[in-house]
Structure 1
């Protein structure tokens, strides 16, 4: 799968729901270290940190499931918890216009932004 570049345009596209859930998941998986091995048709988690690899030997669906999203939120350093708001001016979603799916997409966007900052991308 061809992933979009990790930049603020991509983060905004996630927040505005211009990128599909599968691509959002694939972006997070990629930057967590998961790689799909076409030759074996299996996920390779050898580059994934132990705390993720132990609990999720295969990449979890962050959009459909709450537990991995909670873990993703907790893995964002405290100083980056509000990074989408601080760096992009993202004001969140309006009451009545969002549900768990949008909240999880925002978490993924926040985590990716934090990853960019930590890794100076």
Structure 2
């Protein structure tokens, strides 16, 4: 997964602005959760994934296509970090005409990644 963009606020904006494809957005979360893919076999190793994710999702879930893992992702964001899109990026949300599941799930991914960055002290370089 070395071909992933760096985890920066620019990358988070690119997810929000639909400039990064769904597969790449998913892969960024998978990497942060600990999922690792064998480059030779393509099989997933979830041994580094927290048990509360590994048990229901032994293979990484598609957060954009499937609601249940996205709900779990939302619930895993600490309360103090729920508003990071607004607080850190000044993101005011999508317009009513843009409120479709795919975009709201991308916003969830973006907020989760900002929370991950905050928790792990990842700052833009």
What's the TM-score bracket when you normalise by the shorter of the two chains? over 0.9
Residue 39 of structure 1: how far off its partner (Å): 2.9
2:46 maps to 45
Match of 1:98 in 2: 99
1:41 CA displacement: 2.2
Normalised to the residue count of structure 2, the TM-score between the two structures is 0.95
Query: In 1, distance between residues paired with 2:91 and 2:30?
Result: 23
- 1:67 aligns with 68
TM-score (norm 1): 0.98
User: Aligned partners of 2:111, 2:42: CA distance in 1, in Å?
Assistant: 30
The residue that corresponds to 2:28 in the other structure is: 27
RMSD in angstroms over aligned alpha carbons? 0.7
Unaligned runs of 5+ in 1: none
Matched residues in 2 for 1:35 and 1:114: separation? 21
**What do residues 13-44 of structure 1 show as CA deviations (whole Å, max 9, x unaligned)?**
00000000000000000000000012332100
Q: Which runs of 5+ in 2 are unaligned?
A: none
Partner of 1:96, secondary structure, is helix
In structure 2, the residue matched to 1:108 is 109
Q: How many residues align?
A: 121
